[in-house]
Amino acid sequence: MMIGMDRPDITTAPPPRLRSGYHALVIGATGAIGQAFCEALAHDPHCARLVRASRAGADGTEPSTPALPTWDLRDESSLVALADALTGPFHLVIDATGALTLDQRGPEKRLADLDTAAMAASFQVNAIGPLLLLRHLSPLLAKGERVVWAKLSARVGSIADNRKGGWYSYRMAKAALNQGLQTAAIELARQRPDLVVAALQPGTVRSRLSQPFVGDAATPPDVAVRGMLAALGTLAPNGRAQFIDHAGQPIPW
């Protein structure tokens, strides 16, 4: 099949069961998946406000997008500054941050490949930073109505589903992320019982992250995003985090 042929129209991507006039925030808006989320939400007539946050700050394409500071998942003070620059309430937050290759080091295949600094960097970007984002941005979530916090995770973060081994740091960081999301969901539900917290497995999406490993044999980002938005619409608040794939199927923790 040729790229660009027979692909669904992202303008028909269903919103995740949010009220008409909802406000959305996409963090990591310049990555392949983040951009696709922004495009889908920008075409959703029910979305009244879309804020794009990338590490370089706001891209300026949305009239309602404030001037945002630059930020880095490895610098908590920059995440505090980002939170201070944003104006809520938000009904949908998509955290599309994460990295498989850091400082030119890819995933380890063997115990012999483990490196202390590389492991720490993966945890900071894939687990610690995202939880700090949730810490500082959760006060901006709407109360008294359905709200969704969706964080890109990975199937390789599932301990029960680990059949191939390898990719130590990335697997461990994503498993830690999932535990953090689960713990935060329990706490946040006490103040926001209508909150859905989701750890999303987007599938193997065509991006700079996946290209060195699968080339172009991957799902186009807009197709993956359409599936994830539909999957989010199936989730009911239950006081827990929910780990699902882009087809809405649950993944074992």
Question: What digits encode the pLDDT tens for the residues 64-99?
Answer: 456 899 999 999 999 999 999 999 999 999 999 999
Using 50 as the pLDDT threshold, list the residues of the chain that sit under it: 1-12, 59-61, 63-64
Residue 153's φ and ψ, nearest 5 degrees, are -115, -145
Virtual CA dihedral for 224, 57, 74, 202, nearest 10 degrees? 0
Q: Coil, strand or helix: which one is 120?
A: helix
- Residue 97 belongs to a domain: yes
Can you tell me the distance from the alpha carbon of 119 to that of 107, in angstroms, rounded to the nearest whole number? 10
- Please give the pLDDT value at position 65: 55
Tell me what pLDDT residue 3 has: 29
Q: How far apart are CA 1 and CA 229, in angstroms?
A: 24
Whether residue 129 lies inside any domain: the answer is: yes
- Picking from 142, 23, 124, the residue whose alpha carbon sits closest to that of residue 79 is 124
pLDDT at residue 205 in the model: 86
Rounded to whole angstroms, the Cα distance separating 126 from 57 reads 20
Strand partners for 147: 195
- Determine, yes or no, domain membership for 1: no
Check: CB of residue 207 under 8 Å from CB of residue 165.
no
> What is the predicted pLDDT for the residue at 59?
45
φ/ψ of 199, rounded to 5, equals -100, 115
Phi and psi torsions of 25, nearest 5°: -130, 130
What pLDDT does residue 230 have? Answer: 94
pLDDT for 135: 98
| Residue 253 lies inside a defined structural domain of this protein | no
Structure tokens belonging to residue 68: 């945002």
Range of the domain at 203: 10-245
- Of 208, 244, 202, residue with least CA distance to 223: 202
* Distance (Å, whole) CA 149 – CA 167: 26
How many domains are contained in the chain?
1
Q: Which pTM was predicted?
A: 0.88
Indicate whether 74 belongs to any domain.
yes
Report the CATH number at residue 57.
Answer: 3.40.50.720
Alpha-helical regions (H) of 27-167: 32-42, 76-85, 116-123, 129-137
- Do the domain assignments include residue 194? yes
- Please state, in angstroms and rounded to a whole number, the distance separating the CA atoms of residues 184 and 195: 11
pLDDT of residue 56: 78
Assess if residue 235 is contained within a domain: yes
251 lies in some domain = no
